[in-house]
């Protein structure tokens, strides 16, 4: 039996901790925050609505292994997410861009997917090679849709123009030619935890061989007495930034109360303007989130910023067109690979933008390999 340290009680840390404990190891989990569940942390507000402190976390995947693993610790409420974009004239149109969005923006009367494909082909501005996000979008949907839905959003989200962003950032965004409004339509499983994410994490970490200490930051001195560490802290911070700093974008969350009778019925509305905010979330519109009936509901508006302007809260690694930051991360990762006791995990440890299901899968793969070797 090994004595192991896990840094971070989000999905990466919790999955590692549970699997290591199941394999017979003693695991201590530490987290600098005052709660478990990482960025998935949720709670029931006094007005009776469940709120995600760090923005909406909507579980979606086609990975049966991930669903099976997480289903040990939670039931599910089926939910297929939809998003609308708010235009300058007050209209709300489907996002991702689909046939109805195209008709609304261009005043066309397209009826079929073939009509939409032909129209997009007529407005596309093909570029070669495709390197930047602008290259990809101009080649796919043309200038007007790009400048309306993606350029202002990208600028305030990343503080980079589309021409400065890696094309991979926007390739994950689907462009539709039918009327399907579902945001994650390609994923076969879409749901929310019955009792919220925090309760699921409590169950994951409820094991005789797991101990949890909160409001505890990692220190190099913590390694004394441990056989290995699985660390989700920022890899550049661990090495005291001696090769340079890996930049992140962060989010300020502005929460406000509203009368239930006047609230929006859709959960998420994206802003297309050049203002500082990117989207709003109405929590009561998510299944299972109106826990107690009151006259008030909650809305969260998101304002992107540099992580240094937000108490060093790191949310999104920045992927620039020239992959300069990715190259810097790879130098840190190469150094970490020479240490057989320290393993970096999760978004900040691996400098990746990862959805929840990807973190869980990555963690299951990594920890199973470690257990097999140990």
355 shares a domain with 262: no
- Residue 334, pLDDT above cutoff 90: yes
pLDDT score of 322: 86
CB distance 305 to 287 below 8 Å? no
237 shares a domain with 329: yes
- Residue 169, pLDDT above cutoff 90: no
Side-chain-side CA neighbours of residue 40 (13 Å): 28
161 shares a domain with 110: yes
DSSP letters for 172-202: TS---SS---BTTTT-SEEEEETT-HHHHHH
pLDDT score of 214: 98
Please state the domain count of the chain. 3
- Residue 285, pLDDT above cutoff 90: yes
Average pLDDT on 160-173 reads 89
pLDDT score of 265: 87
pLDDT score of 82: 96
Which tokens is 225 given? 């007495």
Q: Look up the pTM and report it.
A: 0.94
3-state secondary structure of 241: coil
269 shares a domain with 190: yes
Average pLDDT on 302-331 reads 94
Tell me, what CATH number does 229's domain have? 3.40.50.720
Q: How confident is the model over 71-125, as pLDDT tens digits? A: 999 999 999 999 999 998 999 999 999 999 999 999 999 999 999 999 999 999 9
Domain region containing 67: 41-82+182-194+248-317
Query: For residues 246 and 292, which has the higher predicted lDDT (pLDDT)?
Result: 246
CB distance 349 to 232 below 8 Å? yes
pLDDT score of 236: 98
Within-domain flag for 140: yes
Smallest CA-to-CA distance from 67 within 372, 370, 368, 357 is with 357
236 shares a domain with 252: no
51 shares a domain with 27: no
Residue 16 pLDDT class (50, 70, 90 cuts): very high
Average pLDDT on 236-251 reads 97
DSSP letters for 89-116: TS-EEEES--HHHHHHHH-----SHHHH
Q: Report the distance separating Cα 338 and Cα 325, nearest Å.
A: 21
pLDDT score of 195: 97
pLDDT score of 209: 98
Within-domain flag for 177: no
First to last CA, the chain: 9
CB distance 154 to 189 below 8 Å? no
Residue 359 pLDDT class (50, 70, 90 cuts): very high
332 shares a domain with 288: no
164 shares a domain with 112: yes
- Residue 44, pLDDT above cutoff 90: yes
- Residue 34, pLDDT above cutoff 90: yes
Which tokens is 253 given? 């969350």
Q: Report the distance separating Cα 135 and Cα 190, nearest Å.
A: 31
- Residue 293, pLDDT above cutoff 90: no
CB distance 43 to 34 below 8 Å? no
pLDDT score of 9: 98
- Residue 13, pLDDT above cutoff 90: yes
Residue 282 pLDDT class (50, 70, 90 cuts): very high
Residue 289 pLDDT class (50, 70, 90 cuts): very high
- Residue 6, pLDDT above cutoff 90: yes
Average pLDDT on 112-139 reads 96
pLDDT score of 277: 97
3-state secondary structure of 295: coil
- Residue 320, pLDDT above cutoff 90: no
331 shares a domain with 219: yes
CB distance 231 to 343 below 8 Å? yes
Which tokens is 75 given? 């039931």
332 shares a domain with 213: yes
Please name the residue ranges forming H helices in 231-271. 235-238
């Amino acid at each position: 039996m090994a004595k192991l340290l896990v840094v971070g009680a989000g999905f990466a840390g919790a999955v590692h901790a549970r699997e290591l404990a199941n394999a017979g190891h003693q695991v201590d989990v530490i987290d600098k925050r005052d709660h478990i569940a990482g960025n998935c942390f949720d709670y029931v507000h006094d007005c009776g609505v469940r709120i995600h402190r760090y923005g909406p976390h909507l579980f979606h995947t086609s990975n049966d292994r991930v669903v099976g693993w997480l289903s040990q610790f939670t039931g599910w409420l089926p939910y297929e997410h939809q998003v609308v974009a708010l235009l300058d004239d007050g209209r709300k149109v489907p996002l991702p861009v689909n046939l109805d969005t195209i008709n609304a923006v261009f005043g066309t009367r397209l009826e079929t997917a073939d009509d939409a494909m032909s129209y997009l082909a007529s407005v596309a501005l093909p570029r070669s090679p495709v390197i930047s996000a602008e290259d990809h979008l101009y080649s796919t949907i043309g200038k007007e849709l790009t400048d309306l839905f993606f350029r202002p959003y990208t600028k305030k989200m990343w503080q980079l123009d589309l021409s400065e962003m890696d094309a991979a950032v926007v390739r994950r965004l689907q462009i539709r030619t039918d009327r399907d409004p579902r945001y994650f339509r390609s994923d076969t499983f879409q749901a929310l935890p019955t009792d919220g994410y925090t309760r699921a994490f409590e169950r994951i970490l409820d094991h005789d061989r797991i101990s949890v200490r909160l409001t505890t930051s990692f220190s190099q001195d913590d390694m004394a007495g441990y056989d290995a560490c699985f660390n989700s802290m920022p890899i550049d911070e661990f090495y005291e930034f001696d090769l340079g700093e890996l930049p992140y974008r962060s989010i300020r969350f502005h929460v406000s109360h509203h009368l239930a009778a006047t609230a929006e019925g859709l959960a998420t509305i994206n802003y297309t303007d050049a203002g500082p905010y990117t989207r709003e979330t109405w929590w009561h519109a998510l299944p299972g989130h109106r826990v107690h009936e009151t006259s008030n509901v909650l809305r969260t508006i998101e304002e992107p910023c540099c992580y240094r302007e937000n108490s060093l809260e790191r949310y999104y690694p920045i992927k620039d067109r020239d992959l300069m930051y990715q190259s810097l991360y790879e130098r840190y990762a190469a150094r970490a690979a020479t240490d057989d006791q320290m393993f970096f995990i999760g978004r900040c440890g691996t400098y990746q933008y990862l959805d929840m299901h990807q973190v869980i899968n990555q963690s299951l793969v990594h920890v199973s390999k470690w257990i097999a070797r140990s």
